Structure 1
Amino acid sequence: MVVTLAQSARWTIGWQADIPAWGWVLVILLITAVVAWAYTRLNGPPRARAAAATCRVLALLLIALLLAGPELIWSIDRTEPDRVEILIDRSLSMTLSDTRRDLDGQNLTRDQAARQALAELDQWVLTRPDGTESRNRNTAWSAFSDSIHTIEPRPDTWPEPTGRSTRIVNALRQTLNRNNQETLAGWVIVTDGRSDKALPPELLEQLEQQATPIHAVILGGASTITDVAIVDVQAPDAVFLGDRVPVRVTLEGNTESQPTQVRLIDKNTGNTLAQATTSQTTARLAARPEEPGDQTWVVQITTDNDQVPQNNRREITLRVVDRPVRVLLVDGYPRWEFRFLKNLLLREQSVELSSLLLSADRGFAQEGDRPIQRLPEEQAELEPYDLIILGDIPPAFLSDRQNQLILEHVGKRGAGLIWLGGPEHTPASFADTPLTPLLPTLDPAAITQRSVADTPFVIHTAPAAETLGLLEPQALETRRGMVWIQALTQLKPTAEPLLLAHHPDDAEPLPAVVWMRYGAGQVLYLATDEWWRWRYAQGETPYSRFWLPLVRLAVRDRLDRARDNQPTLTVNPAVARVGQTVIIRYDGPSDATPRITLEPRTSNAPRQTRDLLPDADGPFLRWSLPFLAGTPGTWDIRTENDGPATQLTVLDDSPEFRHTQPDRQRLLTLTQRTGGQLYDLDDASRIAGAIPSRARTIVEETRKPIWSSWPIFLAILTLLTAEWITRRWAGLS
């Protein structure tokens, strides 16, 4: 609302020379005395001399006045109105229905309740403490959420609440720094107080120093909103057909007050793949894809009386690969673990095996789907293998070239490595060798062997195994039989135990299987070679349930690499939240220079073109690019020249629904520190008269010099002429 400036005007006389009154008295006396002295010396009639002297005195006084610089001053008194900033919250939390009930008994949203109750807010702000309307105040209305923009004061014209966050601090700073000639008298903020940033102390101090009160109208009911939200979903991006895919769901909200049902649904068929009921903040599901190709799974949660259904669903995408895992198995001698593992992998249709036994005679026929007679010595020979299993072999068997090939194959090309510990060489003999970085312990030479005679070790899963979806619960039921294990101590910070070996005589369990990431690949270390004992009286099933998940886990990162000379473009994760950084990766021939375009399919965001950065080398190079998912919707990502393409889905997972209770304490702090008040919605009319006036009266003057005006010169000329005529007529001399 704009108020016309009140004003009044008047004329006055002013002077350029600031001469005090006593100065003018002296001037008058001096002129009078000089003129009187001059005329007393003349002979003539007294009346004539008095008349002539009077003309001269008046003429000299006029000249003195002209020398003082007389001015005609036109003064206008202008009243400058003050300004009240009115900020209306337009974030998504305004859509929550927890404020009051309508005539039908249904809860109104915070936005609906505010529109109804604040229809006269503009008039309340303009009201003086005496109840009359102030004509010296303007109001500036703004809607704020992620940003701030001007709106009309009528509630029926307010924009819909669609903002993803409530940035009170930014709104205050922008309105405080507006280039406006009006004096800021205060703020009125209509909000629930839930902001994504704390109130900065320096801003509060600035507001206190300005003594500009903030009055807040709080929206939202006092009762607790029942809400459980999906905060995060973690799952592999690529898996083998038939793999057990772990899905970890992180929840937030009222999970303890009521159980939450979590379902994993195939989006294409609508079938429920897995489900669980939890009262915790974490739920773990697992399912096996039955078809190859790209698949979309949906995580859906259900609770009783959930008032915020917008955050109950999340999609994940999987690339299901249907090809055998290519494994290179190397061991020093034909121990039982090597024999049973080799036979298991040979029978497994999803594995393509090459095995090499170092102690075999020269004429021994090495076994495998792809038999070999020596270890690969060139990158082209090692490249086909997804997984390397190194048993109890002497380090001297590996040349420097082969050590370097293994390091690069795991670290740069994403291959997996499984160490199968043994009593002779692994891991102690690999201390201070080129492959030491691939071991999960800080001091391999200090590893000792722990043997038991009567009571064997019992194996249990560690928390990391459940997170990685390594083993099904029934895979380790009553698994015993281990009579020796290496005491792995001083694990590297990046290493995590997956399985633990318990013994009644030990105070702490020993790591039996340790997982570690090395560069682009994964490393697993098995601290014993007695896993074959699980076959006793139970057949192949327990043994295969242990080994095959390990094999697939170790090569999971390898699935992100280009295969069979076909370039690939992937994005991880393929489904992201607004504000989350995703990694776009391209694997292609070494002579390619990748450039990608990102084009939104469901929004008006601009099309983007980006250059990727080199990430890893090899026959196929890897480039990558971090990309901030800022606009919700579906993005088509393509390489130039009709190369591979992929999609990114950005979900508008607004934090407005994570903490839905009104933040009364924040608003109390803001209002009390600035001298304002906090009002409930029903008491908002008390704002009338609460904001003191800061309107200012400003005097504007227009000065016009009058010393050069012709009437003044005419008056002086007239007086001097009159004196001359009088002197001539009276014969004064």
Structure 2
Amino acid sequence: MSAVFEFLFKYRAIVYQKGTFAFHPPWPAYVSWLAAATAVAGAWWLYRRTAGVVPRGPRAALVTLRGLTLVLLVVIFLQPVLVVRTVLPQKSFVAVAYDVSKSMEIHDGRDGQSRLEEVRHLLRPAANPVLEELGRKFKVRFFRFSGEASKVEGGFEDVPRHGNVTDLERTLSQVVVELGSAPISGIVLLTDGADNHSADLAAAAAQLRARNIPVYPVGIGAPDVSRDLEVMRVSAPKKVLRDAMIEADVAVRSKGYAGRRAKLTVKEHDRLIQSLEITLGSDGEVRTHKVNFSSETAGPKIFSFAIEPFSDEVIKENNSSDVLVRVEDSKPQILYTEGEPRWQYGFLRRSVGEDRNLHLVTLLRQADGKFFRQGLEDPAILEKGFPVDKAELFAYKGLILGSVEASFFTFDQLRMIADFVSQRGGSFLMLGGRNSLGQGGYTNTPLEDVLPVNLRFGSGNPPPFQDLEYKLRLTPYGAEHPVTRLSASEEENRKRWAAVPSLIGLNPTSGAKPG
């Protein structure tokens, strides 16, 4: 069919698709319009005189045919042409950008080649007909990219450390900026397409389209991976205390290993710290696994979370992820203010006394104006009772209030405690008791907004403190939370909470606040 089209119209159909019709007459444009109008009017005038001889229908058909014939003659004299854009040799640029991100290290090519080795072969300087053809027509410029693009002289050039991200949006923008106002005939993009950092790739593509700059992507790597394990992300605290329990959430995605068991390990400089057996989910399912471990030495630590690969796994490079955690050897100070002698006071002092990472300073009110202070490094500390200025209070990392009524504090002290949380970023804990929460008069004080529970009961006063005995029972989420983790073993943690003695005393509230 294409041969017939070329025989009739001289050129292939694709030439007409890419070309633009135009006229190149030897006279001004208005002459063409005047000639066409004259041809139509002449045909109408010639057949007008035959109105009584030729019926109306045939006469109209004859007028149309003659008019079209005359218009066709005018078009021929207008000299129609087909304008096809072509590239002048060495007058425009082509950018060749190749991916050097970590995903290009994956060995899924022919004969076990990595994706980067395939790119090296495609951009080889010798015996490369593709680059030779490009070089004859264009000025070729090379770029390598991961998070950003950088210009390379002479073709392929590897880097000692491959990037952790692929940002196609930034890469395309930087290539265009680097070439400046020079005419760009196209951008050849060699990548596996694993873009994980672009904010709005569609907007960047629209800008290139507006400038008539085509992008020619060349896909590298296998289009489908039948068997794969991947550590997608690891969530862990950025800063912990030495010997403290570190809890990390490891998100694992698998394909082709549904229901199989795998080994998840945590290492520090090849030293095994923790390992556990996990069950893999269905294809594409992401499962989160909790790992608990501790660090005995202080300083910045890089922990490597990895899943031991199966022998038939295609991509083994994505089985691990590293996390930086700063382990501090410090003893943050906690201020505990208690309004009356009670068993909670002694329990807290004994518990924290066994913790090498905390320094508990306690202020116990024995009578009006009389305080019993413990854990002091300087006898002058808290000599006049609770701190009255921010500098003294903000020296503490956390604040605990026991059964002490709101009227014990001045309004400025209450506002200072609220600022301790909102401005200082300090931790705040209010224990239950007869003079705590709503029963302690904290409604309509600056601390009401700080507390996570609602103290108000409509327009009335809150119910009184109740001497009830009850057993604490954790929710499924609470049993996994780091705050309630008494042991690294889930089974041991449940046993310890089951053995916790009953609690006595309840402060009624109107429920937890949203969030």
> TM-score under structure 2 normalisation?
0.60
Contact 2:349 2:360 (C-alpha < 8 Å) held by counterparts: no
The reply to whether residue 246 of structure 1 matches residue 280 of structure 2 is no
Deviations 1:670-726 (A, max 9, x none): xxxxxxxxxxxxxxxxxxxxxxxxxxxxxxxxxxxxxxxxxxxxxxxxxxxxxxxxx
Report the secondary structure of 1:299's partner residue.
Answer: strand
1:309-708 mapped onto 2 (5 Å cutoff): 309=317, 312-321=320-329, 323=331, 325-331=333-339, 333-338=340-345, 340-341=347-348, 351-357=359-365, 360=367, 366=372, 368-370=374-376, 375-379=385-389, 382=393, 385-428=396-439, 429-444=441-456, 456-461=470-475, 463=477, 466-472=480-486, 473-474=493-494, 475-477=496-498, 479=500, 481-482=502-503, 485-486=506-507, 488-489=509-510, 491-493=512-514
Report the secondary structure of 1:438's partner residue.
Answer: coil
CA gap 1:120/1:433 in 2 versus in 1, 3 angstroms: same
Contact 1:85 1:175 (C-alpha < 8 Å) held by counterparts: no
CA gap 1:243/1:188 in 2 versus in 1, 3 angstroms: closer
Deviation at 1:330, TM superposition (A): 0.9
Report the secondary structure of 1:179's partner residue.
Answer: coil
The reply to whether residue 122 of structure 1 matches residue 131 of structure 2 is yes
Letter in 2 for 1:460: L
Q: Paired residue for 1:138?
A: 138
Which of structures 1 and 2 has the bigger CA Rg? Answer: 1
CA gap 1:389/1:191 in 2 versus in 1, 3 angstroms: closer
CA gap 1:450/1:400 in 2 versus in 1, 3 angstroms: closer
Deviations 1:80-120 (A, max 9, x none): 4375725242322333221212xxxxx11223334445622
CA gap 1:486/1:465 in 2 versus in 1, 3 angstroms: farther
The reply to whether residue 109 of structure 1 matches residue 127 of structure 2 is no
Contact 2:97 2:190 (C-alpha < 8 Å) held by counterparts: yes
Q: Paired residue for 1:516?
A: none
Q: Distance in 2 between matches of 1:374 and 1:465?
A: 41
CA gap 1:457/1:143 in 2 versus in 1, 3 angstroms: same
The reply to whether residue 193 of structure 1 matches residue 193 of structure 2 is yes
Contact 2:455 2:509 (C-alpha < 8 Å) held by counterparts: no
Deviations 1:30-51 (A, max 9, x none): xxxxxxxxxxxxxxxxxxxxxx
Q: Paired residue for 1:97?
A: 107
Report the secondary structure of 1:262's partner residue.
Answer: strand
Report the secondary structure of 1:403's partner residue.
Answer: helix
Q: Distance in 2 between matches of 1:138 and 1:381?
A: 71
Q: Distance in 1 between matches of 2:151 and 2:206?
A: 23
CA gap 1:467/1:230 in 2 versus in 1, 3 angstroms: farther
Q: Distance in 1 between matches of 2:451 and 2:173?
A: 55
Report the secondary structure of 2:437's partner residue.
Answer: coil
1:245-264 mapped onto 2 (5 Å cutoff): 245-251=246-252, 257=258, 259-264=261-266
Q: Distance in 2 between matches of 1:178 and 1:236?
A: 42
Deviation at 1:264, TM superposition (A): 3.2
CA gap 1:255/1:336 in 2 versus in 1, 3 angstroms: farther
Q: Distance in 1 between matches of 2:187 and 2:350?
A: 78
Contact 1:90 1:159 (C-alpha < 8 Å) held by counterparts: no
Deviations 1:299-326 (A, max 9, x none): 3313314634377242434334354855
Contact 1:289 1:320 (C-alpha < 8 Å) held by counterparts: no
Deviation at 1:192, TM superposition (A): 2.7
Q: Kindly indicate which of the two structures has a greater share of residues assigned to strand.
A: 1
Report the secondary structure of 1:459's partner residue.
Answer: coil
1:15-34 mapped onto 2 (5 Å cutoff): none
CA gap 1:171/1:396 in 2 versus in 1, 3 angstroms: closer
Deviation at 1:460, TM superposition (A): 0.5
Letter in 2 for 1:316: L
